[in-house]
Amino acid sequence: MPQLSMHSPIGDLTLTEEDGAIVALDWGWGRDQDETPLLRLTCDRLDAYFDGAADNFADLPLAPYGTPYRQAVWQALRAIPPGETRTYRDLAEQVGGSPRSIGQANGANPIPILIPCHRVVATQGLGGYSGDGGVTDKIYLLELEGAQIPGVARQDA
């Protein structure tokens, strides 16, 4: 499977493509680098995103591996606009399951940022984040998008 790595403000990221779709975004620099048009486009879009261009990445072909329930959760995440958040409870009411099962699906998300699990927060507070920097990365991504973050004073305020 082709992979391409990039530097970002939250650390090195590696994208993986299979059968014309992105299947993973991992923290760290990948061993093998094999640029394809889709991987180059996605890296360029991520660079623009980190430079402040709002992007929901909705038109990128993504094919995460997961159960039908997790697929439904990840599809709901893709519908959350940049700069907005939803609670685990909101998504549980929308997709089914419980806030805990939504959190588990978020934690298993193989394509973070592009499938924006960082936009899901707890009813009171932030909740967790599976990125290398944990909640610090979540706060960075939400602030980058201009989201109101529960319990966190904006850095630019």
| Angle between helix 88-95 and 68-78 (nearest 10) | 120
- Give Cβ neighbours of residue 31 (< 8 Å, ≥ 6 apart): none
Buried b (16+ CB within 10 A) or exposed e, 25-64: bbbeebeeeeeeebbeebbebbeebbeeeebbbeebebeb
Active site residue 43: no
Q: Measured between alpha carbons, how far is 83 from 108 in angstroms, rounded to an integer?
A: 22
Q: Which of 62, 10, 2, 65 is nearest to 31 (CA)?
A: 2
In this structure, the strands spanning 86-87 and 120-121 are: parallel
- Selecting among 25, 46, 105, 117, the annotated active-site residue is 117
Residues with active-site annotation: 117
